[in-house]
């Protein structure tokens, strides 16, 4: 028997490729971040590839590539993973307060 279920509404955080690029470029300022800071955790799990045109990100599913056609999602448990921009906008509603 096939049944249906609806995904619970949860709020996630996200960053665009350009925002990540800027964060990564200011990496020396990272020494001022606390170890538990989310930005520190993100930077610890990623590195540049393809002449700075992509990031490789260590995720729960293995290493994934993120390009400027992706958004980085920070999940409810602090997990990070890239998501294609079009899928992101079809799946998530952007907080109007931003």
- Segment 23-68, tens digit of pLDDT: 777 765 555 555 557 777 777 788 778 777 899 999 889 999 999 9
Helix (H, G, I), strand (E, B) or coil at 5: coil
Q: What is the count of structural domains for the chain?
A: 1
In a domain, 97, yes or no: no
Q: Is the dihedral of CA 6, 14, 67, 31 positive or negative?
A: negative
In a domain, 1, yes or no: no
Instruction: Give percent of the chain above pLDDT 70.
Output: 86
| Among the listed residues 74, 67, 69, the one whose alpha carbon sits nearest the alpha carbon of residue 14 | 74
pTM listed for this prediction: 0.77
In a domain, 55, yes or no: yes
In a domain, 26, yes or no: yes
| Among the listed residues 76, 80, 44, 36, the one whose alpha carbon sits nearest the alpha carbon of residue 61 | 80
Range of the domain at 57: 13-91
In a domain, 6, yes or no: no
């Amino acid at each position: 028997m096939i049944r249906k279920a609806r995904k619970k509404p949860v709020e996630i955080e996200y960053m665009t490729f350009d925002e990540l690029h800027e964060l990564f470029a200011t990496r020396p300022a990272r020494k001022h971040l606390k170890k538990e800071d989310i930005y520190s955790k993100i930077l610890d799990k990623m590195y540049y590839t393809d002449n700075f045109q992509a990031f490789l990100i260590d995720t729960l599913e293995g290493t994934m590539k993120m390009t400027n056609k992706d958004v980085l999602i920070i999940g409810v448990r602090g997990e990070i993973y890239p998501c294609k921009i079009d899928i992101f906008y079809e799946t998530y509603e952007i907080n109007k307060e931003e």
